[in-house]
Amino acid sequence: MAKLKIQGLLDDKPVKINLELPGAVHLDLVAYAEAVSTQSGQPVSDPVKLIVPMLTRFMATDRAFAKSRKQSRTPGKKG
């Protein structure tokens, strides 16, 4: 099996949000949780807990987002 982008879950103080997922996305999330469990050897008790690391990884690898954030943090630069 190829190495998954999400390796495990970190404990962090949560912020509660409500989110509705399409059924197909939920099924994929459950399947992904099973793959993470198989690869890591640690059970994923709640597939919903994968959403945060998935979003984190997505934003961390989005070059346009990173460029936009860098420009907005640099004084005197316009983006």
pLDDT in tens, the chain (79 residues): 677 777 766 767 777 889 999 999 999 999 999 999 999 999 888 999 899 889 999 998 988 888 888 888 877 655 5
The 10 Å CB-count burial string (b at 16+, else e) for 11-50 is eeeeeeeeeeeeeeeeeebeebbeebeeeeeeebeebebb
Tell me the pTM. Answer: 0.67
Residue 36, pLDDT score: 92
Closest CA to 40 of 72, 75, 5, 11: 5
For residues 49 and 21, give the distance between their C-alpha atoms in angstroms, rounded to a whole number. 14
The structure tokens listed for 40 are: 């890591």
